[in-house]
């Protein structure tokens, strides 16, 4: 994370949702925010339950964590984590188990943080892992966080993107069954995805001339049409349109050789055609430090790149590294977006002054 000049700017308020409280969300929150350095770069605001966090703190014997409880009549403490209780029930924790109470509670935290994103109370949200099974309800009928935020903030073209220091991977088709991938890959879809990817690399990551690699759909990128024609008929024409407009986009590349030869190191981001094509190599390379970022939204949302990890929940084995990196990236993107706005204001003011002089 680039901490330059952060002392001269207001610390961003970063919301952190607790996720499924029977997964590793509470544990990684306690571990990550137990490091006081986090509060030096942002003001963390946890959406969840103080009772749940206290139970995990005692069960895991973690002493180095405290928080300020915030309510409508309170104040935000900028020197330590803040907590907003999103439900009042005294739920028992049952690490590793799928329960209805945990699913309902996870949604309440997401819902409250979304309200605060809309009002501007927080600048970004970092979401801890949910179970896509027990969270389903009339209010949450989505495959995951990505689709929920796209609907809530009326974004028709959001993009799932995994980020680390070594690699950025976006996926064209996201959370859909593998059998539906082929019919979903169209020139129109790839055009939309590449537009979002180019914009987010420029605005959110500060890369003025991003270099993007596009993967093929079929083995060996179709082998000249022998193993599939999507590369010839759909992917290559979409790439050519962007290249003709001066964008640095290359491909389609065979996925196995592209990652096997570390060719991704030559690019600022990779567009994969489907979920596992991009996420398997990403998590192999950067599982502990990876961050899930939803590009194309008017708000900033990141999350750890791991799931609920029910198999190790409550055992004090979960690493907080991915959550910490998610907080760092959220802070960076908030500041990058602020810089873009400030630069545009300066340009507009300069233009106005020149018009007055003329």
Nearest to 215 by CA among 245, 235, 244: 235
Percent of the chain with pLDDT over 70: 94
In this prediction, residue 6 carries a pLDDT of 40
In this prediction, residue 319 carries a pLDDT of 95
Half-sphere exposure of 239 (CA within 13 A, CB side): 21
pLDDT over 80 at 349, yes or no = no
Alpha carbon distance 236, 127 (integer Å): 35
Q: Please state the rounded mean pLDDT for residues 193-204.
A: 97
Orientation angle between helical segments 25-33 and 321-357, nearest 10 degrees: 70
**Residue 302 is inside which H or E element, if any?**
strand 301-304
pLDDT over 90 at 61, yes or no = yes
pLDDT over 90 at 215, yes or no = yes
- Burial call 221-256: b when 16+ CB within 10 Å, e when fewer: bbeeeebbebbeebbbebbeebeeeebebebbbbbe
Q: How confident is the model at residue 4 (pLDDT cuts 50, 70, 90)?
A: very low
Q: How confident is the model at residue 356 (pLDDT cuts 50, 70, 90)?
A: low
Q: Edge-to-edge, what's the strand order for the sheet holding 248-253?
A: 68-69, 82-85, 43-48, 13-17, 124-127, 301-304, 291-295, 159-163, 168-171, 269-272, 211-215, 248-253
Domain ranges of the chain: 8-155+297-358, 161-289
- Render pLDDT for 226-238 as a digit per residue (tens, 0 to 9): 898 999 999 999 9
- Render pLDDT for 132-148 as a digit per residue (tens, 0 to 9): 999 999 999 998 898 89
DSSP string covering 40-72:
HH-EEEEEE-HHHHHHHHHHHT--S---EE--T
Alpha carbon distance 285, 289 (integer Å): 9
CATH fold match for the domains 8-155+297-358 and 161-289: yes
| Cβ(196)–Cβ(295) below 8 Å | yes
- Render pLDDT for 298-307 as a digit per residue (tens, 0 to 9): 999 999 999 9
Comparison of pLDDT for 228 and 271, the residue scoring more? 271
| Cβ(326)–Cβ(120) below 8 Å | no
- Render pLDDT for 297-347 as a digit per residue (tens, 0 to 9): 999 999 999 999 999 999 999 999 999 999 999 999 999 999 888 877 766
Alpha carbon distance 131, 142 (integer Å): 12
In this prediction, residue 219 carries a pLDDT of 93
Q: What is the pTM of this model?
A: 0.90
| Cβ(62)–Cβ(34) below 8 Å | yes
Q: Please state the rounded mean pLDDT for residues 171-182.
A: 92
**CA-CA distances (angstroms) from residue 293 to 95, 312, 323?**
27, 24, 12
In this prediction, residue 353 carries a pLDDT of 62
Q: Please state the rounded mean pLDDT for residues 217-227.
A: 90
Q: How confident is the model at residue 153 (pLDDT cuts 50, 70, 90)?
A: very high
Q: What is 8-155+297-358's CATH superfamily?
A: Isopropylmalate Dehydrogenase (3.40.718.10)
Bond before 252 cis per omega within 30 degrees: yes
**Residue 171 is inside which H or E element, if any?**
strand 168-171
| Cβ(69)–Cβ(85) below 8 Å | yes
Alpha carbon distance 95, 23 (integer Å): 6
Token look-up 């959406």 returns 47
In this prediction, residue 82 carries a pLDDT of 97
**CA-CA distances (angstroms) from residue 151 to 51, 133, 236?**
31, 19, 30
**DSSP at 234:** I
Q: How confident is the model at residue 357 (pLDDT cuts 50, 70, 90)?
A: low
In this prediction, residue 358 carries a pLDDT of 61
In this prediction, residue 209 carries a pLDDT of 96
Half-sphere exposure of 335 (CA within 13 A, CB side): 20
In this prediction, residue 124 carries a pLDDT of 98
Average model confidence (pLDDT) for the chain?
Answer: 92
Q: Please state the rounded mean pLDDT for residues 103-110.
A: 97
Question: Looking at domain 161-289, does it have CATH number 3.40.718.10?
Answer: yes
pLDDT over 90 at 7, yes or no = no
């Amino acid at each position: 994370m680039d901490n330059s000049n952060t002392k001269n700017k207001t610390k961003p308020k970063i919301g952190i949702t607790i996720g499924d409280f029977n997964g590793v969300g509470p544990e990684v929150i306690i571990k990550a925010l137990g490091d006081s350095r986090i509060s030096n770069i942002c003001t963390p605001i946890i959406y969840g339950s103080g009772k749940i966090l206290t139970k995990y703190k005692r069960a895991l014997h973690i002493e180095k964590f405290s928080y300020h409880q915030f309510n409508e009549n309170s104040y935000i403490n900028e020197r330590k984590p803040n907590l907003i209780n999103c439900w009042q029930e005294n739920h028992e924790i049952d690490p590793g188990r799928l329960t209805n109470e945990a699913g309902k509670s996870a949604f309440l935290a997401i819902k409250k943080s979304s309200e605060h994103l809309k009002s501007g109370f927080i600048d970004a949200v970092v979401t801890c892992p949910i179970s896509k099974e027990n969270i389903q309800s009339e209010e949450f009928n989505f495959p995951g966080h990505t689709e929920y935020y796209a609907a809530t903030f009326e974004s028709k073209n959001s993009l799932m993107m995994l980020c680390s220091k070594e690699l950025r991977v976006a996926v064209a088709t996201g959370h859909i069954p593998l059998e539906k991938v082929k019919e979903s890959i169209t020139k129109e879809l790839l055009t939309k995805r590449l537009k979002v990817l180019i914009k987010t690399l420029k605005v959110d990551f500060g890369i003025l001339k991003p270099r993007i690699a596009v993967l093929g759909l079929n083995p060996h990128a179709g082998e000249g049409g022998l193993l599939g024609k999507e590369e010839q008929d759909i992917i290559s024409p979409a790439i050519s349109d962007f290249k003709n407009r001066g964008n640095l986009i290359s491909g389609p590349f065979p996925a196995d050789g592209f990652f096997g030869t570390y060719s991704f190191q030559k690019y600022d981001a990779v567009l994969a055609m489907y979920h596992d094509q991009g996420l398997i190599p990403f998590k192999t390379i950067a599982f502990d430090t990876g961050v899930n970022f939803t590009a194309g939204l008017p708000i900033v949302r990141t999350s750890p790149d791991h799931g609920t990890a029910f198999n190790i929940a409550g055992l004090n084995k979960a690493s907080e590294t991915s959550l910490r990196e998610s907080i760092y990236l959220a802070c960076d993107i908030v500041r990058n977006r602020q810089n873009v706005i400030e630069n545009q204001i300066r340009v507009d003011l300069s233009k106005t002054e020149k018009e007055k002089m003329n």
